[in-house]
Amino acid sequence: MLKGKTIIIGLSGGIAVYKACDIIRKLKKQGAEVWVVMTPAAQKFISPLTFRALSENPVITDLFDEKQNNLPVPHIALRNKADLVLVAPATANILGKAANGIADNVLSTLLLSIKCPLVFAPAMNPVMWENKAVQSNLLRLKKNGAKIIYPEKGAVVCGDEGEGRLAEISTIIENVNNILNSKSDLEGVNILITAGATREAIDPIRFISNRSSGKMGYALASCAKTRGANVTLISGPGSLKPPSNVKFVQVVTAQEMHEAVNEHRDRAQVIIMTAAIADYRPRITFMQKLQKRSDSLNLELIKTIDVLDELGKSKNGTYLVGFAAESTNLIENGKEKMQKKNLDLIIINDVSAFEEDHSEVIILDRSGKIEPLPRQEKALIADTILDKIKNTKFASSL
Ligand code: CTP
């Protein structure tokens, strides 16, 4: 999703600088070209060599050493390349310099020279973060048009607790994507997405579920939001953080998923069902914990409602997308589900990729077109699925 974009990562001197390794890896994976600029303090934590290897570009550490970086005027050469500058981690020091126009090292000088979007992801001790000088510098930076990705609460390395931990890497990457891919080709479209596995209780502590992580649904929600859609995400339990600015509805059971979908379906122009909803649930949920009293235990399971099947029976113009989890006869099973559930599009899903960040899918549409996508990140698959929806459902209206 970042193909053709050049991102400059500014590293200032805090312990969180090691997290920049992962940020660079993820940005590169999404196709971005990455250049790294380090302050002298950042170099005390990690050697520039690490970032040279990860970014596959020279690391800029000095304004004046021509031999080192092969760029005669580094801050201007980088400015001309950059689509976005991300300072992560941003210390109190670099925030203060950028807010007050101080240019005394290669990074602070670059920050005064750029015209592209500027993003800070601060990380520091919670007491420093709360300091009035730091907060007023942040306000000034925001007023001048910089974007701040706020730090999170938690324990920091020096033992203090509070706000100051660098934001989650996924949040940083999502923000970068939102800024750089602000194509708004789904502006105002109402999309309902379901994600994750449901849980069907056996007793107060045991349940039947499956391995679906929800990653595909969350990637679709994030991508649709970035492209301007109004997104409602209904999700089974899990550890994923919902993307910002989507309407998030948490459910647990297939029945709750059914009720939530019914509550939100009328407003949706597109419904994408990635959720791995349980097909069966225990007929009886025991009120107390089951005791281990015999060598075998029979559980009677009864069918749950097929939410997508119900949606297909009264579509009223809603564009319906299903996901088929298959391990054999992929195309035949996918086609059969598309017909039976009256879908407009079905994505045949590799069941072995349920918990992975990558997957390999096949897209089938009503015209009989079969599009296998090569194995790739779920975020990229999400973008292609949304392209397909846009080109079929909204070809004339958007
Ligand atoms: N689905 C649903 N309600 C269910 C089960 C599935 O809405 N109780 C939806 C899923 O969200 C998915 C589609 O139906 O979009 C296909 O789900 P899948 O598990 O592949 O197939 P099933 O219809 O459940 O059939 P089977 O398990 O026999 O393959």
Domain extent listing, the chain: 6-180, 190-396
Helices 132-143 and 92-100: angle between axes, nearest 10 degrees? 50
The percent of residues in the chain predicted with pLDDT above 90, rounded, is: 79
Distance, CA 277 to ligand 1 centroid (Å)?
A: 7
Condensed to tens digits (0 to 9), the pLDDT of residues 130-158 reads 999 999 999 999 989 999 999 998 887 77
Token pair belonging to 170: 């996924």
**Position 72 confidence tier, pLDDT thresholds 50, 70, 90:** low
- pLDDT at position 68 is 59
Q: Is 21 a catalytic residue?
A: no
Pocket of ligand 1 (CB under 6 A): 254, 273, 275, 277, 279, 304, 306-308, 322-325, 337
Architecture of domain 190-396 in CATH? Answer: 3-Layer(aba) Sandwich (3.40)
Condensed to tens digits (0 to 9), the pLDDT of residues 298-344 reads 999 999 999 999 999 999 999 999 999 998 999 999 999 999 999 99
Architecture of domain 6-180 in CATH? Answer: 3-Layer(aba) Sandwich (3.40)
Distance, CA 333 to ligand 1 centroid (Å)?
A: 11
Rg (CA), the chain: 25
The percent of residues in the chain predicted with pLDDT above 70, rounded, is: 97
Is-same-fold flag (6-180; 190-396)?
A: yes
Ligand 1: residue whose CA is nearest its atom 27: 279
Which atom of ligand 1 is nearest the CA belonging to 326?
A: 20
Q: How many CA atoms does the CB half-sphere of 301 hold within 13 Å?
A: 13
Give the CA dihedral 135, 141, 142, 145, nearest 10 degrees. Answer: 180
Distance, CA 357 to ligand 1 centroid (Å)?
A: 21
